[in-house]
Amino acid sequence: MKAVGARLPRYDGVAHVTGRTMYVDDIRVPGTLWTKALRSPVDHADITGLDVSKAESMKGVHAVVTWKDVPLLEYGHLSGLGIPADEPLLAKDVARYKGQPIAVVAAEDEETAQAAVEAIGLDLTERPALVDVRQAFNSDAPTVHHWGNWYPHFEGEMDRRQIRKGSIAEAFEQADLIVQGVYRPAAIEHVPIETQVCQVVPEADGRLTIYSCTQALYFSMGVVAAHLEVPLNKLKFVGGTVGGGFGGKVDTATETMCSLLALKAGRPVKWRWTREEEFLCSSTRAPWHMEIADAVTTDGWILGRKMLTLHDSGAYARFSPYGLTKHSFHHTGAYTIPNLEFDGYVVFTNRVPTTAMRGFGVTSVSFAVESHMSRIALELGIDPFEIRLRNANRKGDTSPNGIAYTDPSTIPTIQAVADELGHELSADYRTATSEPRTGEWLPEHLVGQLGNPEAH
């Protein structure tokens, strides 16, 4: 066990510092064609005409691919988790976000590919766009998605993630004060220094070799196989060398599109996104709208929490229902709140579909929960460390969905932070532990929520 505790060199470190690391764009395959995409220029429109004939017959153009060329046009990346397919690989009847790919072209060089894209005839009838999640529920809101304006396929065909615990009405009645807050973190673009890129080589034996920047090699392999309706052994994925992903390279579709181009052209095909495409058309971390109303006592107990979350999924579902589900579990944060009314919606807007990014689903709710704790502390005139320690999860406390905590670390963490900052805690808070609640840490209203920490 020599490695434990040792400062191990990165296995790719020497290659990085000597310029030897081969990213997808560094792979050189003779005869490779360049790809450019025709993308929707508007937020929302019916596609009434698509004519690729001029582009196809242009000198130097080897293939043009549209929705017609895709064996399975819609495949849900997370259909294994029960999220049905809703997004076409290439737009068919409607463009639902600015930048949505409608056609892709493979040509001898970048300028030819771009000229071919510009030669594609595209007829659109613009439709009103919905870009503010708060308006999604208005009766006169534009309709974004064929499922309606919010995702309706949670288990039991629920149209929201819903958590109910105890009695929120009682909590609000017994409260000394209701503390409200609205939290709206905006979208964040991953900005990997390597833009999205893919290289596909059609092999003589009929297989495809796909050099991919995906963060999830086997996952992407399944996606390509599904869209192409081929068995997995038809594909050879080469990857693992990623110039930054941060969650933005888990829902890549470039592999599928380049595969279709490569098969049609009979030539290797590469697609490297421009930085403009990366900023404007690649998926981002989602914007969220969260409203919290907490029923609190003057001595700092949180009796109940009412919360509404609107998650901006953009034009399609992708991973949003999964993100919202994680978010829902964590809506009490590291704290024990016995009465809960939580409703969370995955809302569709005419924006670039949102995706994973470092802790997605949870960073939003952590931000809101912690901001709200500090707000409560401010309104009650209570020390922000002490209000957290008072309400902190302890062994035997139960989560929003009723699971008893066996080993929460909230209290030692907060005490360590207080130590580090030189913040004085009064005696009771300085000596508090994560052991099951007793005495002053167990007011009447928390008795009913206790569970058995040994139950796992």
Q: Is 186 in the site for another protein (CB under 8 A)?
A: no
- Of residues 131, 125, 140, 136, the one with CA closest to residue 94: 125
Q: How far is the CB of 10 from another protein (least distance, A)?
A: 7
DSSP 138-204: STTPPP-STT-SB---BGGGBSSEEEEES-HHHHHHH-SEEEEEEE-PPPB----SSPPEEEEEE-T
Interacting positions 114-153 with another protein (CB under 8 A)? 114-115
Q: Is 275 in the site for another protein (CB under 8 A)?
A: yes
194, 251, 255, 386: which one binds another protein (CB under 8 A)? 194
Query: Can you point out the beta strands (E) in 203-267?
Result: 208-212, 235-238
Q: Do 331 and 307 form a contact (C-beta atoms < 8 A)?
A: yes
21, 174, 297, 325: which one binds another protein (CB under 8 A)? 21
Q: Which residues contact 395 (CB under 8 A, 6 or more apart)?
A: 404, 405, 406, 407, 408, 434, 435, 436, 453
Q: How far is the CB of 115 from another protein (least distance, A)?
A: 7
Three-state secondary structure call for residue 207 = coil
53, 57, 162, 274: which one binds another protein (CB under 8 A)? 274
- Of residues 352, 311, 329, the one with CA closest to residue 149: 311
73, 187, 191, 217: which one binds another protein (CB under 8 A)? 191
- Please calculate the CA angle 179-185-187 and round it to the nearest 5 degrees: 165
CA distance 361 to 322: 8
Binding mask 234-273 for another protein (x = CB under 8 A): --------xxx-x-------------------------x-
Q: How far is the CB of 3 from another protein (least distance, A)?
A: 6
CA distance 261 to 56: 12
Q: Do 93 and 45 form a contact (C-beta atoms < 8 A)?
A: no
* 373 alpha carbon, distance to own chain's centre: 25
In sequence order, what are the beta bridge partners of 307? 292, 342
Q: How far is the CB of 274 from another protein (least distance, A)?
A: 7
Q: How far is the CB of 217 from another protein (least distance, A)?
A: 16
Considering only 133-141, 163-171, 193-201, 319-327, which stretch makes contact with another protein by CB under 8 A? 193-201
Q: How far is the CB of 244 from another protein (least distance, A)?
A: 5
Interacting positions 90-109 with another protein (CB under 8 A)? 109
Q: Is 192 in the site for another protein (CB under 8 A)?
A: yes
Residue 45 phi/psi, 5-degree rounding, is -160, 150
Total residues in contact with another protein, by rule CB under 8 A: 41
Q: Is 16 in the site for another protein (CB under 8 A)?
A: yes
Q: How far is the CB of 33 from another protein (least distance, A)?
A: 13
Which amino acid belongs to residue 398? T
Look at phi and psi of residue 187 and say left if phi exceeds 0, alpha if psi is from -120 to 50, else beta: beta
Q: Do 249 and 356 form a contact (C-beta atoms < 8 A)?
A: no
Q: How far is the CB of 278 from another protein (least distance, A)?
A: 9
Three-state secondary structure call for residue 278 = helix
Q: Is 13 in the site for another protein (CB under 8 A)?
A: yes
Considering only 3-11, 140-148, 172-180, 335-343, which stretch makes contact with another protein by CB under 8 A? 3-11
Judged by beta carbon, residue 243 or residue 436, the one nearer another protein is 243
Q: How far is the CB of 51 from another protein (least distance, A)?
A: 22
Polymer length in residues for the chain: 456
Q: Is the dihedral of CA 443, 453, 413, 335 positive or negative?
A: negative
Q: Is 6 in the site for another protein (CB under 8 A)?
A: yes
Q: Is 20 in the site for another protein (CB under 8 A)?
A: yes
Q: Is 17 in the site for another protein (CB under 8 A)?
A: yes
Binding mask 314-353 for another protein (x = CB under 8 A): ----------------------------------------
Interacting residues with another protein (CB under 8 A)? 2-3, 6-10, 12-23, 25-26, 28, 109, 111-112, 114-115, 190-195, 242-244, 246, 272, 274-276
